[in-house]
C-alpha cells in the first residue's frame, strides 16, 4: 500500500474542510481524486506533503506514518506539483531544474540528462528562457517536469493537465501510465477533467470534506448505469445536493476553450506590456535601484543635509545710529562705530542682516515669515558703550540701557531650529564685539568674556549639526534597504515556492540561512560603497577603526533582516510588507536617537526607543567616527544583536510551525 489516510479531519476556524476522510491508494496504481472547487482536495494534498497538519487522523506513506518522517515531511519519496505554478520567475528553465534537482541531491549531470528527456516529453520552451517569460501553459509544464525530475515513488499532482492541449494531455497520461506499469510508481492526482480518469485504477469523489464514493472507473459506470465518467459525476452531484456545483459544467467549459498546440522550436514573441515580462525587467533593475539609493542617500547626508543654515534673515532697526548698510553690503566707517562692527561680525557669522526703518516694519516682517526676528540697536550705541567700559560698575542706568542690544526672535514651532542657530550667532557676535572693543582699549579680553571656557574632548566646538546627523541618516537608509529580503520571503510564501521547497524535505531554518547567504554579495557591495563614500568625504576625520564601521553595518543589516523576516510572517502580500517597512522606518526616524537624543523623550517611552534595532548602532557609529571607540566598546551591542537575531528567528520558526498546523 502506497498511501493510507485514516480519519483525516482539518478545519479552518468554524469551517470543516476535511471531515473524517478515509482514502487508500495501492502501490503501482493511478488514483484520481475528483470534486468541486473548495471540497478539500488541495488541503488534503498539502497535508500529504507536510505543508499542513491534520487536526485529527493519520497519514501513512509506504507503511510509515507521516509524523515519523523528519519534520513530518516525506521529502524526496514524493514528487509534488501544487495547484499554483510555484516557480521562481527570476530563474531560467535550466536554473529551475538545477535548483530543485540539487534540493533532492541529484548530480548536475543527471539533472541535465533528465531535463533533456522531459523537454521532449512536455514540449518545454527554450531552456535559457526565464520562467517569467513563459506562458501559463508552459509554466504548468515546467512545474510538472519539476515534480517528475527526481523519479519519486509517489507522484502527487494537483490539476496537472490544466492548460495543456489535448495532444500533450494524452502524452502526459501515457507517460504516467508507463511509469506505473513499468517502474511501479504510484500516482495520486486531482483533475476537473473527469473523462480522462477512465484509465485510473481507482476514482474517489470528494465533497464537503467527505469521500462520497471510491471505486474503479468500470465499477462506477456499472453502478450508475452510465456511459461516461462525466455522467457518473453528474449523478453524484444530483444525488447528494440540490445546490451542488456541477463539475461537468466546469469540464465542458474547459474542454470547449480554444487552445494552442505547442510546436517545438517555435517561441512565442513576448509582448513588452505583458505583466510577467515587466516583472522580469523590474527584477533585473532592482539591484541597481537599491545601489543607487544607497549611494544617493549616503551622499545626501554627508554633503547636503545638516549643515549650519546660511543667510537667515534678521531685521535691523538702527534708531538714528549711522547707517552701516548700503544696498545690502557692509560699509566700513571711519572711526569706531560699535554698531557697525557688531553688524559686520554678525554677517560674518552667516546672518543676512536686513535694515528696517521702524520696529513696526521689523515686526511685520517676522509676522509675514520674511525674517526670523530682528535686533534693535539703541541710539548713540557707541557713546553709551564707551561710557559703560569707562565707568564699568559705576555706569548709570542710561549708559547700561543705551549699550544693550534688544533681540526679538520668532520662537514658534515653525522657526525653532532657526532660533537655535540665530541665538548662537548673536552670542558669538557679542562676545567677539566686546573682545575687539577691549582690545582697542588695551584691556584684557578675559575681563569682558563670560566666565566659561568651553573645550571639546572629542570633535570641535564649531562642528556643524551634520556631524550628528550624517551617521543617523546613513544607518536609517541602510536599515530600510535591509528590509527588502523580507519582501522576498513574503513573495515566496504567497506564490507557493516556499511550500514547494519545504515539500522537498528542506528544513525551514535552512531556508532562512539561504536568505542570509543570498544577501552576502549585496552586503559586500552596498556596505563597501558606504564605507568608501565616508572615507572619501571625511576619511581623515574618522577617529576609530574602519573594521568597527564595517561590523556595525553588517550587524545592523542582519538584525533588521531578521526583524523583517519575522514581521513578514504576519502579512499576506508585498504591499502590506512595504507598509510595515515604512512603519518601521517612521518609528526609527522619531525614536532611534536621530534628530534628538533618546534622553529627551518621556521616561516611560525610552525602553521602546532602546529596543529599536537602529538606536544603539547610530550611537556606536557616532562614537566610532568621533571618539575612536574600539571593538571592546561596542561589544555589548554586538552581543545584543546576536541575541536579538536568535530570538527573532526562533519566533519566526514557531510562527511557521503554527501556520503549518
345 falls within a domain: yes
346/377 same-domain check: yes
Count up the domains in the chain and report the number.
3
146 assigned to some structural domain: no
Longest dimension (CA), the chain: 127
CATH of the domain at 45: 3.40.50.300
Burial of 416 (0-12, 13-18, 19+ CB in 10 A): exposed
- Do 473 and 444 fall into the same domain? no
> Is 553 a member of any domain?
yes
**Lowest-confidence region among 51-65, 248-262, 543-557:** 248-262
pLDDT for residue 329 = 44
**Matching residue, cell 541531491:** 105
- pLDDT at res. 448: 78
Q: What average pLDDT does the structure give for the chain?
A: 82
Name the domain boundary from 416, 448, 480: 448
In the predicted model, what is the mean pLDDT of residues 406-427? Answer: 83
Tell the residue number behind the cell numbers 516556499, with chain if given: 498
- Please tell me whether residues 440 and 524 are part of one structural domain: no
Q: How many CB atoms lie within 10 A of CB 448?
A: 18
| 597 and 514 inside one domain | yes
pLDDT in tens, 211-260: 888 888 888 888 888 888 878 877 777 664 444 334 334 433 433 333 33
26 within domain boundaries: yes
* Residue 123 scores a pLDDT above 80: yes
Is residue 75 within 8 Å of 505, Cβ to Cβ? yes
DSSP states of 442-483: T--GGGGS-S-----SSS-TT--THHHHHHHHHHHHHHHHTT
Tell me: do 362 and 422 sit in the same domain.
yes
pLDDT (tens digit, 9 = 90+) per residue, 180-221? 998 899 999 998 788 888 889 999 888 888 888 888 888 888
Q: Is the pLDDT of residue 516 over 60?
A: yes
Instruction: Please state, for a pLDDT cut of 70, what percent of the chain lies above it.
Output: 87
Does residue 285 lie within any of the structural domains? no
Domain CATH code at residue 405: 3.40.190
Boundaries of domain holding 490: 466-660
pLDDT band, residue 29 (cuts 50/70/90): very high
At residue 77, the pLDDT reads 92
Is residue 575 included in any domain, yes or no? yes
* Confidence band of 635 (pLDDT split at 50, 70, 90): low
Q: In whole angstroms, what is the distance from residue 17 CA to residue 44 CA?
A: 9
Q: Last residue of some domain: 256, 291, 324?
A: 256
Considering the entire predicted model, what is its pTM? 0.73
Both 397 and 530 in a single domain? no
Look at residue 592 and tell me if it is in a domain.
yes
Q: Give the integer Cα–Cα distance in Å for 495 and 86.
A: 5
Smallest CA-to-CA distance from 553 within 648, 469, 612, 620 is with: 620
Kindly state whether residues 368 and 492 are assigned to the same domain.
Answer: no
- Give the per-residue pLDDT at 414: 60
Residues 534 and 430 in one domain: no
- Shared-domain flag, residues 30 and 69: yes
Task: Identify the residue with better confidence: 473 or 232.
Answer: 473
pLDDT (0 to 100) of residue 261: 32
Domain-located, residue 264: no
Let me know whether 161 and 233 are in one domain. yes
CA–CA distance, 463 with 469 (Å, rounded to integer) = 11
Residue with the larger pLDDT of the pair 630 and 99: 99
Angle at CA 607, nearest 5°, toward 603 and 612?
135
Ordered strands of the 64-65 beta sheet: 15-25, 3-12, 56-61, 64-65
Q: Are residues 163 and 241 in the same domain?
A: yes
Are residues 202 and 327 both part of a single domain? no
**264 pLDDT higher than 60:** no
- State the Cα–Cα distance between residues 83 and 191, nearest whole angstrom: 10
Amino acid at each position: 500500500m502506497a498511501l493510507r489516510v485514516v480519519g483525516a479531519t482539518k478545519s479552518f476556524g468554524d469551517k470543516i474542510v476535511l471531515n473524517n476522510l478515509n482514502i487508500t491508494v495501492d502501490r503501482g496504481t493511478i488514483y484520481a481524486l475528483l470534486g468541486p472547487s473548495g471540497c478539500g482536495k488541495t488541503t488534503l494534498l498539502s497535508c500529504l506533503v507536510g505543508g499542513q497538519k491534520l487536526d485529527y487522523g493519520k497519514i501513512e506513506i509506504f507503511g510509515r506514518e507521516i509524523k515519523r518522517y523528519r519534520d513530518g515531511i516525506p521529502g524526496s519519496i514524493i514528487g509534488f506539483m501544487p495547484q499554483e505554478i510555484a516557480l521562481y520567475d527570476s530563474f531560467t528553465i535550466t536554473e529551475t531544474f538545477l535548483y530543485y534537482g540539487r534540493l533532492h541531491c541529484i548530480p548536475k549531470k543527471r539533472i541535465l540528462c533528465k531535463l533533456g528527456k522531459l523537454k521532449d516529453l512536455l514540449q518545454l520552451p527554450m531552456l535559457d528562457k526565464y520562467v517569467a517569460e513563459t506562458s501559463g501553459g508552459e509554466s504548468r509544464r515546467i512545474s510538472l517536469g519539476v515534480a517528475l525530475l527526481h523519479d519519486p515513488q509517489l507522484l502527487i499532482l494537483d490539476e496537472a493537465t490544466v492548460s495543456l492541449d489535448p495532444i500533450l494531455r494524452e502524452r502526459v497520461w501515457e507517460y504516467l501510465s508507463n511509469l506505473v506499469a513499468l517502474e511501479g510508481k504510484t500516482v495520486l492526482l486531482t483533475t476537473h477533467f473527469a473523462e480522462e480518469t477512465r484509465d485510473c485504477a481507482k476514482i474517489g469523489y470528494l465533497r464537503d470534506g467527505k469521500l462520497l464514493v471510491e471505486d474503479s472507473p468500470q465499477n462506477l459506470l456499472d453502478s450508475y448505469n452510465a456511459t461516461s465518467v462525466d455522467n457518473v459525476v453528474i449523478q453524484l452531484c444530483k444525488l447528494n445536493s440540490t445546490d451542488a456545483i456541477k463539475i461537468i459544467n466546469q469540464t465542458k467549459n474547459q474542454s470547449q476553450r480554444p487552445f494552442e498546440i505547442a510546436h517545438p522550436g517555435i517561441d512565442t514573441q513576448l509582448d513588452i506590456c505583458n505583466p510577467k515580462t515587466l516583472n522580469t525587467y523590474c527584477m533585473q533593475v532592482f539591484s541597481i535601484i537599491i545601489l543607487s539609493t544607497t549611494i544617493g542617500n549616503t551622499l545626501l547626508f554627508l554633503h547636503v543635509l545638516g549643515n549650519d543654515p546660511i543667510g537667515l534673515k534678521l531685521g535691523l532697526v538702527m534708531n538714528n545710529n549711522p547707517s552701516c548698510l548700503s544696498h545690502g553690503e557692509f560699509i566700513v566707517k571711519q572711526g569706531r562705530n560699535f554698531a557697525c562692527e557688531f553688524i559686520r561680525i554678525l554677517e560674518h557669522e552667516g546672518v543676512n542682516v536686513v535694515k528696517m526703518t521702524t520696529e513696526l516694519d521689523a515686526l511685520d516682517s517676522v509676522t509675514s515669515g520674511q525674517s526670523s526676528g530682528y535686533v534693535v540697536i539703541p541710539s548713540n550705541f557707541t557713546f553709551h558703550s564707551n561710557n559703560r567700559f569707562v565707568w564699568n560698575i559705576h555706569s548709570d542706568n542710561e549708559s547700561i540701557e543705551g549699550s544693550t542690544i534688544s533681540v526679538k526672535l520668532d520662537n514658534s514651532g515653525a522657526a525653532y531650529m532657526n532660533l537655535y542657530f540665530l541665538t548662537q550667532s548673536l552670542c558669538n557676535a557679542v562676545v567677539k564685539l566686546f573682545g575687539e572693543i577691549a582690545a582697542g582699549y588695551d584691556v584684557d579680553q578675559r575681563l569682558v568674556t563670560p566666565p566659561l571656557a568651553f573645550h571639546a574632548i572629542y570633535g570641535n566646538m564649531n562642528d556643524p549639526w551634520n556631524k550628528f546627523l550624517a551617521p543617523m541618516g546613513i544607518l536609517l537608509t541602510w536599515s530600510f534597504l535591509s528590509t527588502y529580503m523580507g519582501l522576498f520571503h513574503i513573495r515566496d510564501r504567497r506564490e507557493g515556492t516556499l511550500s514547494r521547497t519545504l515539500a522537498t524535505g528542506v528544513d525551514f531554518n535552512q531556508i532562512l540561512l539561504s536568505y542570509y547567504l543570498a544577501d552576502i554579495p549585496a552586503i559586500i557591495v552596498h556596505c563597501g560603497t558606504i564605507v568608501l563614500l565616508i572615507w572619501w568625504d571625511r576619511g581623515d576625520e574618522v577617529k576609530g577603526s574602519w573594521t568597527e564601521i564595517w561590523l556595525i553595518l553588517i550587524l545592523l543589516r542582519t538584525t533588521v533582516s531578521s526583524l523583517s523576516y519575522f514581521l513578514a510572517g504576519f502579512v499576506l502580500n508585498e504591499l502590506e510588507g512595504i507598509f510595515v517597512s515604512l512603519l518601521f522606518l517612521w518609528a526609527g526616524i522619531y525614536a532611534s536617537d536621530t534628530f534628538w537624543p533618546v534622553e529627551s523623550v518621556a521616561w516611560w517611552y525610552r525602553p521602546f526607543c532602546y529596543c529599536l534595532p537602529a538606536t544603539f548602532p547610530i550611537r556606536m557609529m557616532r562614537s566610532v567616527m568621533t571618539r575612536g571607540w574600539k571593538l571592546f566598546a561596542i561589544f555589548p551591542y554586538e552581543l545584543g544583536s546576536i541575541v536579538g537575531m536568535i530570538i527573532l528567528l526562533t519566533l519566526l520558526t514557531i510562527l511557521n510551525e503554527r501556520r503549518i498546523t
